[in-house]
Amino acid sequence: MEQTELVFIPFPIIGHLASALEIAKLITKRDPRFSITIFIMKFPFGSTDGMDTDSDSIRFVTLPPVEVSSETTPSGHFYSEFLKVHIPLVRDAVHELTRSNSVRLSGFVIDMFCTHMIDVADEFGVPSYLFFSSGAAVLGFLLHVQFLHDYEGLDINEFKDSDAELDVPTLVNSVPGKVFPAWMFDKVSGGAEMLLYHTRRFREVKGILVNTFIELESHAIQSLSGSTVPEVYPVGPILNTRMGSGGGQQDASTIMSWLDDQPPSSVIFLCFGSMGSFGADQIKEIAYGLEHSGHRFLWSLRQSPQKGKMEFSSGYENIEEVLPEGFLHRTARIGKVIGWAPQIAVLAHSAVGGFVSHCGWNSLLESIWYGVPVATWSMYAEQQINAFQMVKDLGLAIEIKIDYNKDSDYVVSAHEIENGLRNLMNINSEVRKKRKEMKKISRKVKIDGGSSHFSLGRFIEDMMDSKVI
């Protein structure tokens, strides 16, 4: 049987890679006519190792390494240059892929940060689809700001560190400037330029797969439908079923064994993502907030990379050095401080009753899937808007901070943290009730008759109807 081939080009960080693999699995499981090749690019920092699948319909092609300075090139410019130098490598890899007569290239599915590759798809005469790994509200926010910037002369810098608000169609409440992604104000390192470039190119694709579901973001999805935006397919929640990277089975076993000994819904899990780390003053405030709250806790504490290095956070050699004196001893019966955490497994554990999160979209979807209430502590990227949406628009989270930025000098006080933790663990809170209901809904949308199941089917039909080579 002639295979209909899709090429996936994910951004090479684990959250994006894992989501791309999971959507690839959904497509090939749903329709056996599809085979998918996922191209793996490699940054000179971090790791993309461990990406594998038992599906015969999915394969990985690791592209040759490229030379782009990771120490002296600013982030926005670095990422753009990194993508550009991969264009000829992707072109050659697709040529190799299509040499077989049994392969019919149907299209490219491109990450939200890999829109340079639309040009390669055009060369092969096939449509591009975007995989947007954040939510529909953020997609609409980016498109709206880009439109206002390009056609109505919006000066984004007017919103920097400001309470000034912007009406955005995909969000119910007006959005204050202080929760705009920091990269929008980054003219020196090229972050603002990069965001605007990619967002303009979102409009060129044939359709946009979004990792969300209608029942979660009904307002945002309705706002996008019927607009000038390409067709939107809400196909989530797409969860990372891999245990994770950066740790090992032995670490996971120790952590899960500790959780097994804790009462149901009693533990607060604190985890801030692959780039989530804090300065010494903030670490101490978190420690005091935890200790004074009296709640059990599991804290994934990570170390910042060296200044000027483009790396992810890592574990501490000696964790006692950064914690208040005697903290580990005083909290030994109720708490555990770790480095890397098997996040999915932890959230799935019955002992976990609350999650202090950086509000990365994957983490928020995972918390919804397992029905764990979230306290927001946004750090970087689009996380401030995610937190704002969860707290203000949807009532699905407790606020610790929605406008925190990891690059600022602001320190959240132990008192603020303690109050947030107490609210998080309130068993009668509206947030906890809403979470319980949304957990049930999130399970239904992906099965036959569910909204995301239908949306994925619509995407496959549209893909098969496309003129292909």
**pLDDT grade for 130, boundaries at 50, 70 and 90:** very high
Model pLDDT, residue 261: 98
The tens digit of pLDDT for each residue in 184-193 reads 998 888 889 9
Model pLDDT, residue 242: 59
- Determine which of 176-180, 194-198, 309-313, 346-350 has the lowest per-residue pLDDT on average: 309-313
**pLDDT grade for 93, boundaries at 50, 70 and 90:** very high
Q: Which of 318, 262, 266, 328 is nearest to 291 (CA)?
A: 328
Annotated catalytic residue within 16, 149, 295, 349: 16
Rounded to the nearest 10 degrees, what angle do helices 414-424 and 280-293 cross at? 40
Token duo for residue 432: 């906890």
Token duo for residue 435: 């979470």
**pLDDT grade for 277, boundaries at 50, 70 and 90:** confident
CA distances from 327 to 50, 202, 272, 292, 350 (A): 35, 49, 20, 11, 26
DSSP symbols for 300-319: E--BPPPTT-----B--S-G
Percent of the chain with pLDDT strictly greater than 90: 76
Q: Is 167 part of the annotated catalytic residue set? A: no
Residue 1 scores a pLDDT above 60: no
With a CB cutoff of 8 Å and minimum separation 6, the contacts of 260 are 349, 351
Annotated catalytic residue within 111, 149, 295, 358: 111
Strand partners of residue 132: 210
Model confidence pTM above 0.85: yes
Model pLDDT, residue 243: 46
pLDDT higher for 172 or 240?
A: 172
The tens digit of pLDDT for each residue in 365-404 reads 999 999 999 999 999 889 999 999 999 999 999 999 999 9
Q: Is 111 part of the annotated catalytic residue set? A: yes
Token duo for residue 446: 């992906």
Contact by Cβ (8 Å): 124, 152? no
Residue 424 scores a pLDDT above 50: yes
3-236+446-465 with 249-442: one CATH topology? yes
Model pLDDT, residue 94: 96
Model pLDDT, residue 126: 95
| Top-tier CATH class for 3-236+446-465 | alpha beta
The mean pLDDT value for 451-455 works out to 98
The mean pLDDT value for 66-79 works out to 70
**pLDDT grade for 245, boundaries at 50, 70 and 90:** very low
Q: Where are the domains of the chain?
A: 3-236+446-465, 249-442
Contact by Cβ (8 Å): 122, 374? no
CA distances from 448 to 365, 444, 445, 451, 465 (A): 20, 8, 8, 9, 22
**pLDDT grade for 72, boundaries at 50, 70 and 90:** very low
Q: Does domain 249-442 have CATH number 3.40.50.2000?
A: yes
